[in-house]
Copies of this chain bind each other. A is one copy, B any other.
Amino acid sequence: MPKLKQQGFMKALQCRECGREYPLEARHVCEFDFGPLEVAYDYAKIKSKLTRAAIAKRPHSMWRYRELLPVAKAPTVGLEVGFTPLIKADRLAKRLGIRELWIKNDAVNYPTLSFKDRVVSVALSRARELGYETVACASTGNLANSVAANAAASGMKAFVFIPHDLEKGKVINSLIYGANVISIKGHYDEVNRLCAEIAGKYDWAFVNVNMRPYYAEGSKSQGFEILEQLGWKIPRHTVVPMASGSLLTKIHKSYQEFIKVGLVKKSNYSVHGAQATGCSPISTAHRAGQDFFKPVKPDTIAKSLAIGTPADGFYALKVFKETGGASDDVTDDEIREGIKLLAETEGIFSETAGGVTVGVAKKLIASGAIPADDSAVLCITGNGLKTLDAVENHAGRTRNISPSLREFDALLDSDKTLTTK
């Protein structure tokens, strides 16, 4: 084992289970108990540097919190990523029956319109520090887009591995950047297993395999931004969609870290998890009161959440326990309703995962798991243009006429569903 050496604010990689430390390399599993490795930071040093005043002077991107992100030096990939809008959603709040509601809107994240740009800019910046020039990923789509785009922008080579049944938009949106796109006849979990094998053989930076400890940390930036944008405080409730469960655990971690370094005051908060009924291993386990989940074979329109064997499912269940969070899931119809509701009330068109988050938030508010007189943040993670297929026949219909005023008058007169008031 090489000697451990601090890099920037990172002390080491550390096993989440046994606490054993490893050097800051491209590795992700403990050799002793196969526990996942995580980056350990020098929080004392960070606390002295990362003040509200220091942050205020920095560019509006996720990198304004760079001491808490796992790069040794200045980032080199994805400098524009993050600091997406936090929208006060009064019209949606009214429809869902809650006092105060916020939308954290990563549907407009830079450059590929999903929260994955956060994890990828970290993973690629770190990959470059470690000397890699070829990057790769297993992906349900959004990650593929982001790896392809960010690799192109920084002149790295990219291999992206996707399940064969992905939405067309997500496939084109990877190919267009010149990435090598490998389509696998199988589910995401099979793609993922193949990538673990490939990562073992080829010396590439697989962002969500050997680079996973760095990669996953990028998600924290969404949480950091929420806290700053709310005026340096922790929201009482946060609803997060779950695929592997990683984003949810990192949102929780971001809140804990900001408390630890003194940027926000400690306060009572709950982090809730949203899944699609067609792929709900985590929410099913939570509702059954279990602290382990049973893998499932996904069948849902929410393809970006279709991970039947969620790598961080176990840790997501722990977050519910620690924060009093709830978890639920919604059907494909409820997902489409959620997308439509968010679009009609707030002008935000989210991908299917956003429909999951809105749909589950609706259920949690209705059940009282999120009390009506409280405040909540919903995490929207990707843009609706990526999953057009899912809403194509459910968005509504156009009225078709010739370019004639008389025809328009007649249409307005006859079709009372056209709302002018």
Partner of A149, one of B185, B191, B347, B403: B347
Give the contact-size bracket for chain A.
35 or more
Q: How far is the CA of A123 from the CA of B418 in the complex (A)?
A: 22
A402/B183 contact (C-beta < 8 A), A176-B343, A343-B177, A391-B172 known? no
Is the Cβ of A403 less than 8 Å from the Cβ of B150? no
Closest Cβ–Cβ distance, residue A391 to chain B (whole Å): 6
- Cβ–Cβ < 8 Å partners of A175 in chain B: 395-398
Q: Is A321 an interface residue, CB under 8 A from the partner?
A: no
Closest Cβ–Cβ distance, residue A107 to chain B (whole Å): 8
Q: Is A75 an interface residue, CB under 8 A from the partner?
A: no
Residues 54 to 107 of chain A near chain B (Cβ within 8 Å)? 60, 80, 85, 87, 91, 105
Is the Cβ of B395 less than 8 Å from the Cβ of A172? yes
Closest Cβ–Cβ distance, residue A32 to chain B (whole Å): 26
Partner of A173, one of B153, B385, B402: B385
A419/B157 contact (C-beta < 8 A), A169-B385, A178-B396, A182-B411 known? yes
- Cβ–Cβ < 8 Å partners of A91 in chain B: 153, 155
- Cβ–Cβ < 8 Å partners of A171 in chain B: 398
- Cβ–Cβ < 8 Å partners of A155 in chain B: 91
Is the Cβ of B391 less than 8 Å from the Cβ of A176? yes
Residue in A60, A105, A190, A401 with the greatest tally of chain B CB atoms within 10 Å: A401
Q: Is A311 an interface residue, CB under 8 A from the partner?
A: no
User: What are the interface flags for A393-417 relative to B under an 8 Å C-beta threshold, 1 for contact and 0 otherwise?
Assistant: 0011111111111001101000000
- Cβ–Cβ < 8 Å partners of A340 in chain B: 176, 178
Is the Cβ of B347 less than 8 Å from the Cβ of A172? no
Is the Cβ of A113 less than 8 Å from the Cβ of B180? no
Partner of A421, one of B105, B157, B172, B396: B157
Q: Is A388 an interface residue, CB under 8 A from the partner?
A: yes
Is the Cβ of B60 less than 8 Å from the Cβ of A185? no
Binds B, one of A43-51, A194-202, A218-226, A261-269: A194-202
A185/B152 contact (C-beta < 8 A), A108-B113, A178-B344 known? no
Q: Is A420 an interface residue, CB under 8 A from the partner?
A: yes
Q: How far is the CA of A108 from the CA of B106 in the complex (A)?
A: 11
Q: How far is the CA of A411 from the CA of B80 in the complex (A)?
A: 35
Q: Is A392 an interface residue, CB under 8 A from the partner?
A: yes
Closest Cβ–Cβ distance, residue A154 to chain B (whole Å): 8
- Cβ–Cβ < 8 Å partners of A349 in chain B: 111-112, 149, 173, 176-177
Residues 311 to 363 of chain A near chain B (Cβ within 8 Å)? 339-340, 343-349
- Cβ–Cβ < 8 Å partners of A191 in chain B: 403
Q: How far is the CA of A10 from the CA of B186 in the complex (A)?
A: 61
- Cβ–Cβ < 8 Å partners of A244 in chain B: none
Closest Cβ–Cβ distance, residue A241 to chain B (whole Å): 19
Q: Is A20 an interface residue, CB under 8 A from the partner?
A: no
Q: Is A375 an interface residue, CB under 8 A from the partner?
A: no
Q: Is A310 an interface residue, CB under 8 A from the partner?
A: no
A403/B80 contact (C-beta < 8 A), A157-B421, A347-B150 known? no
A185/B402 contact (C-beta < 8 A), A157-B421, A408-B194, A418-B180 known? yes
Q: How far is the CA of A85 from the CA of B117 in the complex (A)?
A: 15
Q: Is A273 an interface residue, CB under 8 A from the partner?
A: no
Q: Is A116 an interface residue, CB under 8 A from the partner?
A: no
Q: Is A128 an interface residue, CB under 8 A from the partner?
A: no
Residue in A169, A197, A388 with the greatest tally of chain B CB atoms within 10 Å: A388
List A residues at the B interface (Cβ < 8 Å): 60, 80, 85, 87, 91, 105, 108-113, 133-134, 148-155, 157, 159, 162, 164, 168-169, 171-173, 175-178, 180-186, 190-191, 193-194, 197-198, 201, 339-340, 343-349, 383-386, 388, 391-392, 395-405, 408-409, 411, 418-421
11 further A-B contacts with Cβ under 8 Å, apart from A172-B388, A185-B400, are: A91-B155, A105-B111, A108-B111, A111-B348, A151-B347, A173-B384, A178-B396, A193-B403, A194-B403, A194-B405, A201-B405
